[in-house]
Amino acid sequence: MAKKNRRNSSSKRNQSKGNRKPVIIIISTLFLAVVAFLLLKVVVSSGGDSELDRLIAFDPEGDLTFLASSGDTLMTVDIEIADTEEDRQVGMMFRKEFGDDQGMLFVFPQQEVHSFWMKNTKLSLDMVFADSTGLIVTIHEKTEPQSKKHYFSKPSVYVVEVKAGFVDKHGISLGDRIAWQRD
């Protein structure tokens, strides 16, 4: 009988070891998830350049001049040019900063009414819409960050986004013009 009990106790130990494997896997997985989360948090909070920050850093592609209706220069800014569907869809999303002398020029294939929103846009912007001749036809100032509110234009081909307060600071108004060139 003693031999029979040894077999039973040996078989019970093997069963209990077998039951521990899923528990060990779960604990290991949780541990790795916590470590990954903490590493990600350190990288994000370190202030270093993340891949996303590098992808959305300002990359000047030309310059744009705001001209008063009299023809006088009001201000010239460096611009990024969003002239593809993909670039126009992303626009200023996720940017954390934008210089006072920087802007983004959206170029559309045809003149029509456009609608912009601020979803995933962290900065308040001024939006300046211009027709195919460069005449400023619509202005929206100090847009609401992270908003799904739509900002509509009169028929336009160009939209210039600049830092909020830019339009007021430089005296830009309806009837003024834009002129731009690619580097």
* Predicted confidence (pLDDT) per residue in 106-131, tens digit: 999 999 999 999 999 999 999 999 99
For 147, other C-beta atoms within 10 Å of its C-beta total: 13
Rounded-to-5 percentages of helix, strand, coil across the chain: 35, 30, 35
**pLDDT score at 53:** 52
39-43, 111-115, 141-145, 174-178: segment of lowest average pLDDT: 39-43
**pLDDT score at 54:** 47
Instruction: Output the six-digit token pair for 38.
Output: 């903490």
Residue 82 near residue 88 (C-beta atoms within 8 A) = yes
**pLDDT score at 31:** 64
Q: Residue 3: pLDDT above 70?
A: no
**pLDDT score at 36:** 53
**pLDDT score at 172:** 98
Q: Where are the alpha helices (DSSP H) in the chain?
A: 2-45, 51-55, 85-90, 166-170
> pLDDT-derived band of residue 55, with 50, 70 and 90 as boundaries?
low
Mean pLDDT of the chain: 83
The span from the CA of 57 to the CA of 49, in Å, is 10
Question: What is the arithmetic mean of pLDDT over 72-82?
Answer: 97
Q: Residue 138: pLDDT above 90?
A: yes
Looking up tokens 């003693």 gives 2
Q: Residue 74: pLDDT above 60?
A: yes
Number of alpha carbons in the 13 Å side-chain half-sphere of residue 124: 9
pLDDT more than 70, % of the chain:
74
* CATH code of the region 56-182: 2.60.120.1140
* Predicted confidence (pLDDT) per residue in 13-36, tens digit: 555 555 677 777 777 677 666 655
CA dihedral sign, ordered 81, 85, 88, 91? negative
Residue 92 near residue 104 (C-beta atoms within 8 A) = yes
Q: Residue 41: pLDDT above 70?
A: no
